[in-house]
Amino acid sequence: MARRSALARRNAGSDGNYKAGKINGDHIRIGLLIAVGMFGGTFFGAKLSTQLPAAQLQKIFSIFLVLIAARLWFSAAA
């Protein structure tokens, strides 16, 4: 029930912004590309994570987090 309610609110907000001209075709195209990328990343990430040992997966994830933290650190300084 909560999902339906959230979906209705999200659609109402998006529809209002679209009618007000705040959303154009480029926004929709980029949103769809992000959705496809998230779906593909989730699918292949789940397949990869089941094939790797837990220790190796932890190391990969920790390196990823350090890289993201470094990017945030240096972009905040600019």
Within the chain, residue ranges assigned H as helices are 2-19, 25-51, 54-77
Domain count, the chain: 1
- pLDDT computed for residue 62 by the predictor: 96
The pLDDT tens digits of the residues spanning 43-78 come to 998 998 899 999 999 999 999 999 999 999 999 865
Residue 9 maps to a domain: no
- pLDDT computed for residue 7 by the predictor: 66
C-alpha pair distances (Å), 40 with each of 29, 36, 44: 17, 6, 6
Residue 52 maps to a domain: yes
Which domain, by its residues, includes 29? 23-77
Residue 41 maps to a domain: yes
